[in-house]
Amino acid sequence: MSCRTTWNNKALPETSAAQSGLGITQLPGFIVSSAIAAGRLLPILADFEPEAGAVHVVYPCHRQQNTVVRAFSDLLYEALNHEAGD
């Protein structure tokens, strides 16, 4: 099995740029909800929100999987399936 590590945390710089008036961004509500509630951001194009997408749990590749990571993955899977009504 091969592993590929990718780090993508674009939410903070995009949120900061949007709050500074440098443009618009499309981020999950849980990331920008406090900025919207405080009036620092305004939701636009609400009629064009994307459908829910995939969630990926990414962790270092080891020969034996960490039981804590596996437990978290299972918990996340169950919580998201319950929330989606599956």
Question: pLDDT-based confidence at 9, cuts 50/70/90?
Answer: low
44 and 56 housed in the same domain: no
Residue 31 included in any domain: yes
Asked if the structure places residue 65 within a domain, the reply is yes
Q: Are residues 55 and 41 in the same domain?
A: no
Domain count, the chain: 2
Q: What does the H/E/C string look like for the chain? A: CCCCCCCCCCHHHHHHHHHCCCCCCCCCHHHHHHHHHCCCCCCCCHHHCCCCCCCCCCCCCCCCCCHHHHHHHHHHHHHHHHHHCC
Q: Tell me which range, 1-5, 10-14, 20-24, 68-72, is most confidently predicted by mean pLDDT.
A: 20-24
Same domain, 43 and 64: no
Is residue 2 included in any domain, yes or no?
A: no
What is the value of pTM for the model shown? 0.54
Residue 34 falls within a domain, yes or no? yes
